[in-house]
Amino acid sequence: MMWENIYIEGAIGSENGLILEDEEYASSCRITVEKCPHHFAITCGIYGAMVHTVFCGENYKEIYDAMKKELQGFIDRDTTVDEEHQFYNDFTTKF
């Protein structure tokens, strides 16, 4: 399965920044990066379960890619409810 680009040119994101990248994976999660006046904002969500925003500097691309990799790994594996909650906690602590 691949990430699907759902980017709309010129769109403004949830943090009021210009969307640079916007992708969805397996109709299960989404990740968006925005260029705001003084920082970059990366917002991701697992549908029906979690939404998380990270604010960062010029290194946003490496953080964005790392977040995508972890989200994809989570979506691709079978988990128990306890494992899901642990992932959400670990993910939001790490990023």
Both tokens assigned to 85: 């909650």
Please write the tens of the pLDDT for every residue from 24-62. Answer: 999 999 999 999 999 999 999 999 999 999 999 999 999
Please write the tens of the pLDDT for every residue from 3-24. Answer: 999 999 999 999 999 999 999 9
State the DSSP H helix or E strand holding residue 7, giving kind and residue range, or none if neither.
none
State the DSSP H helix or E strand holding residue 6, giving kind and residue range, or none if neither.
none
DSSP per-residue letters across 16-44: SSEEEEEEEETTTEEEEEEE-SSSEEEEE
Predicted structure pTM score: 0.95
